[in-house]
Amino acid sequence: MLNLKMGGKAKQLLETSSLLFSRYGFNNVGVDTIVKESKVSKMTLYQYFESKEKLVEICLVVHKNQLIDKIEFILDRVENLSLIDKLKKIFYLHVDMKSSYHLIFKAIVEIKSTYPVAYDVVKKYRKWLINTIYQILSEHKKTVTYQEAHMFLFIIDGAMTQLLSPNHVDDRESLFDYYLLSVFSLYNSG
């Protein structure tokens, strides 16, 4: 596997690719565009990444790792956060067009059949997030279900869908409040 702490041209390729994939989609950005925008040769791209799918996979791994690091920071290092505050921070971390989740979310609908190995990164991150949310919730309610953790992810995805729509209304706060008040009203008393 590629060393994700590399610098230079490989890092430049990853950053440029991530930006292009985020802006135009995975299927609308070809290798020629990536090398042109990165100002490197095609040979250099293939020196670091054996295929476009490998490049997509590594881009997603980088974004997944960034999200995991930020969530672990929220959970482990930010003291005195209530359950609601933890969930809110995790929610807003994901529901942002500039966040690492934006690229992962785009991958959900764009790469499942074209880049199945890269898509596994998306599935693993979502499974990790659901398990993490389940663990957070179970600390406050003994009868928590995985369905409740899935609901949190569905609310994130719904907010991202809304943000990506051409006529979107930024209503992330209302979605989050609905989630907490309707689905998790019991957590406030626990």
Nearest in space to 107 (alpha carbons), one of 132, 133, 126:
126
pLDDT one-digit tens code per residue, 25-50: 999 999 999 999 999 999 999 999 99
Counted domains in the chain: 1
Task: Report yes or no on 4 lying in a domain.
Answer: no
Task: Report yes or no on 39 lying in a domain.
Answer: no
Q: Which domain holds residue 73?
A: 59-189
Task: Report yes or no on 139 lying in a domain.
Answer: yes
pLDDT higher at 80 or 180:
80
User: C-alpha distances in angstroms, 90 versus 9, 113, 133?
Assistant: 32, 29, 9
Mean pLDDT (whole number) for 124-138: 96
Task: Report yes or no on 49 lying in a domain.
Answer: no
Q: 190: helix, coil or strand?
A: coil
User: Which CATH number characterizes residue 122's domain?
Assistant: 1.10.357.10
Task: Report yes or no on 44 lying in a domain.
Answer: no
Say which residues have a Cβ less than 8 Å from residue 28's Cβ, sequence separation at least 6.
none
- For residue 95 the two structure tokens come to 């529901």
Q: What is the pLDDT of residue 169?
A: 61
Task: Report yes or no on 152 lying in a domain.
Answer: yes
Q: What is the largest CA-CA distance in the chain?
A: 60
Per-residue pLDDT at 19 exceeds 90: yes
Q: What is the pLDDT of residue 165?
A: 77
Task: Provide the percentage of residues in the chain whose pLDDT is more than 90.
Answer: 61
Task: Report yes or no on 10 lying in a domain.
Answer: no
Per-residue pLDDT at 4 exceeds 90: no
pLDDT one-digit tens code per residue, 70-99: 999 999 877 788 888 898 899 999 998 889
Task: Report yes or no on 14 lying in a domain.
Answer: no
Per-residue pLDDT at 190 exceeds 50: no
